[in-house]
Amino acid sequence: MGITERKEREKEQRKNAIIDAAEKVFFSKGLDAATMDEVAEAAELSKGTLYLYFQNKYDLYLAINSRGLDIMNAMFEKAFQSEEKGLDKITAIGRAYYEYYKQYPDYFNSMIHWDAHSIDMTLETENARECGQKGNKALEIVARAVQAGVDDRTIRSDIDPLKTAPVLWGLATGILHMLATKADHLIEEHSDIVGFKNQDEMVEYAYRLIRFSLTNHIT
Amino acid sequence: MGITERKEREKEQRKNAIIDAAEKVFFSKGLDAATMDEVAEAAELSKGTLYLYFQNKYDLYLAINSRGLDIMNAMFEKAFQSEEKGLDKITAIGRAYYEYYKQYPDYFNSMIHWDAHSIDMTLETENARECGQKGNKALEIVARAVQAGVDDRTIRSDIDPLKTAPVLWGLATGILHMLATKADHLIEEHSDIVGFKNQDEMVEYAYRLIRFSLTNHIT
Amino acid sequence: MGITERKEREKEQRKNAIIDAAEKVFFSKGLDAATMDEVAEAAELSKGTLYLYFQNKYDLYLAINSRGLDIMNAMFEKAFQSEEKGLDKITAIGRAYYEYYKQYPDYFNSMIHWDAHSIDMTLETENARECGQKGNKALEIVARAVQAGVDDRTIRSDIDPLKTAPVLWGLATGILHMLATKADHLIEEHSDIVGFKNQDEMVEYAYRLIRFSLTNHIT
Amino acid sequence: MGITERKEREKEQRKNAIIDAAEKVFFSKGLDAATMDEVAEAAELSKGTLYLYFQNKYDLYLAINSRGLDIMNAMFEKAFQSEEKGLDKITAIGRAYYEYYKQYPDYFNSMIHWDAHSIDMTLETENARECGQKGNKALEIVARAVQAGVDDRTIRSDIDPLKTAPVLWGLATGILHMLATKADHLIEEHSDIVGFKNQDEMVEYAYRLIRFSLTNHIT
DNA sequence: GATGAATGAGATTTCATTCAT
DNA sequence: TATGAATGAAATCTCATTCAT
């Protein structure tokens, strides 16, 4: 009792060391530009060893993404716990999402790529499955918050949590997505179309709109 | 007089023929999996010739994307024109966006990839510039609709068109993005988290939420 | 007294078990295609352990080959003993060689590979040495048979045993070699070039030619 | 008319240049030890280009082997033509075979490897087919010589050309094979088993034995 | 001794892109 | 302009062999 576990632990550590190295390389050069050779060198391992732990480059990328989702879910969970009222929980999660985007832009971009690629690719890997589950986990937290809001009447009674949660998720992701890809350019170059001074303001405005529809009854 | 123009016209035709071929290949195999060889074969041209008309694979892809944006903008313009009132214009554009997603899923996915890639890549091409402009064009139409709504009082007076348009764009894109990447899977496999029967219902619900916040005054 | 011997015996048994396993794998997949992993699995040992008993893959292969040579030499010795007259001894050994080829085609092919590889490789192993010695042993038996034939006048008196034996060995090996690599294909597909119905007939014919030159005096 | 042919010719030249380079590398380091990188470097081409012309390493090797067979067949044909009588033709071909072995030992070894590998591998390549055909060609020349000998009565009338030719081929190959792999070692180290002073003598002796059986009637 | 993870080398494949013609 | 061979860079895969435990 112990040897197997130690081996298991070491294996996990090695795997993490590879992901550490891959993160540095992928995040600094971009998924496409980064090469497995560079990752191997950064990890101080042979290229062959990388393939011992990950099926291919994309699988390794998914492992990174999985980490990002962990961080995000932890932030969500914390946000959920931090507030009493349902509406406040939702708001806190929304803020946490924005915080995540700002603190971990690389992980956030990773998520965007994941989304975009998941259209074509369907890799049946442990990492692929994990990413899927962790994505659902986030949704679940949002759903719980909405449910809490319905229960404690901080949000409209005609709101259906199982419908609202995914919609909120989509709306918020869409906004942050836009921040990540277009916002700065629009803010700086196209003040005739976009009337924000910065990203903070845009998020604030968007979130207020969304929150508004959760709290006011249709007249 | 005329020869130069004819040449120009022929060049444009050839370019379009290549884009036609590229579309078939890219859409059926996916951007990454598709090869320039396949495009060349589909276009009945040599691989080298492709590079006479497009800087590289991504540039060719941008040309496709540009086409999609044209279609989308035409649908938006038409939707804008189809209604009298500002709020109805916005609603019509929102529906048009969903229609576009359904009728031209490949172009829509193309846009998603464009977004995702625009994080890393910054290609200074005519096509890149065109895509950018056409993206702004869409935003502009939305902004005009919002402005119309403010003017004719079909939406709340405290709404800022230059702030609301990009936010609406992000929100709607986020929802459709979700439809394209996750919705079916969630609807089918995770009815415990997601309470929709189909994509129509989800869009309907999301749009209603958004519209709600445009029309009701904060109490 | 005894422990060392037991260890020695066990080591020998383990070695044999590995060769058993290796035979199965090498013979079914071919020397090149077979992997040490497969051998290890077949032997129910770890890959590393194989290297405790054999210097490398080729050394392990030589151990197999050595076994085959043992079998062959035993058949040769028996054939030698089975006949009184020198010419008959030679004939019997020739038949034994063909029998060996038919009963142990895998060992025979192994020998062919050994030959072919011995051009490049020169491995200084116990197994390499053993194979060499056992190859000579076969030659020796043939030489003894020829000498017996000279002595008892069943073969021509002008025959030099030390010259004839290696030549006979080469001739017979050449024929069997051909059976192993080309004969079936030639017999089936090229009846215009090769007039045999089967391998038996070809060996019979070849052996008759050889024997002929041993018995008839040059006129 | 001309461009296609020139291209064809250039392609053939390039192919030959690769084979030239591969020969140098393969012959100096041995088939297994040689790497495609080395061949590419020797050919002053990129590795990718090698694979444009040859399916894989073995296919490239077969192209080399094919060349060797061409040389051999040319020597055989010349030997055939050089003599009037059938028996002399056979003798001349036999000598030519030995000459080939001495002048082109690398090509000869290549043939041996080809034989040995043809047991396992069955590559369906143009080169594989060519090697097969060229091997048959050699056999055919021998068969014609034997037939000529039967016709002009320089060899025994009860000899069947279609049976004798493949047998002669096998016998001669067996002897040369032995020279290539074992003879020197035996001559130098085992004068107690092998009574030859050098390879010449051994071939001479062997050939005399074979020739003997073709010319003398069974009594 | 035994293990199996790690290594390192090389084969193979695949392409986007370039270049001589 | 058009061509398609050639390039070069990487990914991927496969192993024999080594090494720390």
Contact A202 B166 (CB under 8 A): yes
Least Cα distance to D19 among D75, D57, D48 occurs for: D57
Determine phi and psi for D198, rounding to 5 degrees. Answer: -165, 180
Q: Other CB atoms closer than 10 Å to residue A188's CB: what's the count?
A: 9
pLDDT at A219: 42
Q: Residue C36, exposed/middle/buried by CB under 10 A (0-12, 13-18, 19+)?
A: middle
Listed in sequence order, the residues at least 6 apart from D140 whose beta carbon sits closer than 8 Å to its beta carbon are C193, D165
Rounded to an integer, the average pLDDT of D147-165 is 91
Number of domains within chain D: 2
d(CA A127, CA B177): 22
* One domain, residues A70 and A9: no
Query: Which amino acid does the sequence have at D27?
Result: F
Residue B219 lies in a domain: no
pLDDT at A2: 64
Coil, strand or helix at B121:
coil
Residue C150 lies in a domain: yes
Q: Are C180 and D119 in contact (CB under 8 A)?
A: yes
Any idea what the CATH number is for the domain that residue C193 is in?
A: 1.10.357.10
Check: pTM over 0.95? Answer yes or no: no
Query: Which amino acid does the sequence have at A147?
Result: Q
* One domain, residues C142 and C199: yes
CB pairs under 8 A between C and D: 183
Between the CA atoms of B189, B195, B201 and B203, what dihedral angle is there, to the nearest 10 degrees?
-90
d(CA C27, CA D42): 36
Q: How far apart are the first and last CA of chain C?
A: 68
Q: Which DSSP helix (H) or strand (E) runs through B143?
A: helix B126-151
**Nucleotide E17: nearest residue by CA–C1'?**
B56
Encoding tokens for residue A54? 């990950």
- Kindly report the three-state secondary structure assignment for every residue of chain C: CCHHHHHHHHHHHHHHHHHHHHHHHHHHHCCCCCCHHHHHHHHCCCHHHHHHHCCCHHHHHHHHHHHHHHHHHHHHHHHHHHCCCHHHHHHHHHHHHHHHHHHCHHHHHHHHHHHHHHCCCCCCCHHHHHHHHHHHHHHHHHHHHHHHHHHCCCCCCCCCHHHHHHHHHHHHHHHHHHHHHHHHHHHHHCCCCCCCCCHHHHHHHHHHHHHHHHHCCCC
Any idea what the CATH number is for the domain that residue B1 is in?
A: 1.10.10.60
Query: Which positions on strand E lie below 7 Å from a protein C-beta?
Result: 1-20
CA of D60 to C1' of F12 (A): 22
CA distances from D208 to B53, D17, D67, D129 (A): 74, 41, 30, 34
Instruction: For CA atoms B122, B124, B127, B128, give the dihedral sign.
Output: positive
Q: Are C143 and D80 in contact (CB under 8 A)?
A: no
Residue C219 lies in a domain: no
Encoding tokens for residue D31? 């088939």
Residue D114 lies in a domain: yes
Listed in sequence order, the residues at least 6 apart from B180 whose beta carbon sits closer than 8 Å to its beta carbon are A119, B101, B105, B108, B109, B112
Mean pLDDT of chain C: 92
d(CA B30, CA B43): 17
pLDDT at D217: 56
Listed in sequence order, the residues at least 6 apart from D169 whose beta carbon sits closer than 8 Å to its beta carbon are C178, D138, D139, D142
Q: Which residues of chain B fall short of a pLDDT of 70?
A: 1, 217-219
Interface test with C, best of D194, D201, D205, D211 (most C CBs within 10 A): D194
Residue A219 lies in a domain: no
Residue after which a domain boundary falls, among A21, A36, A53: A53
Of residues A185 and C218, more confidence is placed in A185
Residue after which a domain boundary falls, among D53, D74, D92: D53
Q: Which structural domain, as residue segments, surrounds residue C79?
A: 57-214
d(CA B86, CA B153): 8
Residue D219 lies in a domain: no
* One domain, residues D162 and D103: yes
* One domain, residues C202 and C118: yes
- Give per-residue pLDDT as tens, D96-137: 999 999 999 999 999 999 988 877 767 678 899 999 999 999
Of residues B101 and D192, more confidence is placed in B101
pLDDT at C1: 55
* One domain, residues B184 and B90: yes
Q: Residue B211, exposed/middle/buried by CB under 10 A (0-12, 13-18, 19+)?
A: middle
* One domain, residues D48 and D127: no
**Residue whose token pair is 């199982």:** A162
Encoding tokens for residue B135? 């993206």
pLDDT at A171: 96
pLDDT at C219: 42
DSSP letter, residue A113 = H
pLDDT at B219: 42
Task: Give the largest Cα separation in chain B, rounded.
Answer: 69
Q: Which DSSP helix (H) or strand (E) runs through D52?
A: helix D47-53
Interface test with D, best of C194, C203, C210 (most D CBs within 10 A): C194
* One domain, residues A46 and A107: no
A53 touches strand F (CB under 7 A): no
Contact D31 C120 (CB under 8 A): yes
Residue C115 lies in a domain: yes
Q: Which residues in C lie closer than 8 A to residue D118 (C-beta atoms)?
A: 181-182
d(CA B194, CA A170): 12
Listed in sequence order, the residues at least 6 apart from A185 whose beta carbon sits closer than 8 Å to its beta carbon are B132
Residue C33 lies in a domain: yes
**Nucleotide E19: nearest residue by CA–C1'?**
B48
* One domain, residues B67 and B29: no
Chain B residue with CA closest to A121: the answer is B30
* One domain, residues D65 and D171: yes
- Of D112, D171, D210, which has the smallest distance from its Cβ to C119's Cβ? D112
Helices D3-29 & D57-82 angle (0-180, nearest 10): 100
d(CA C174, CA A164): 83
Q: Are D71 and D153 in contact (CB under 8 A)?
A: no
Q: Are D107 and D71 in contact (CB under 8 A)?
A: yes
pLDDT confidence band for C11 (50 / 70 / 90): confident
* One domain, residues C108 and C198: yes
- Of B115, B190, B213, which has the smallest distance from its Cβ to A209's Cβ? B213
Q: Which residues in C lie closer than 8 A to residue D177 (C-beta atoms)?
A: 115, 170, 173-174, 177
Q: Which residues of chain A fall short of a pLDDT of 70?
A: 1-3, 121, 123, 217-219
d(CA B28, CA A137): 32
pLDDT at A72: 98
Least Cα distance to A65 among A29, A13, A118, A14 occurs for: A118
* One domain, residues D90 and D11: no
Q: Residue C105, exposed/middle/buried by CB under 10 A (0-12, 13-18, 19+)?
A: middle
* One domain, residues B38 and B81: no
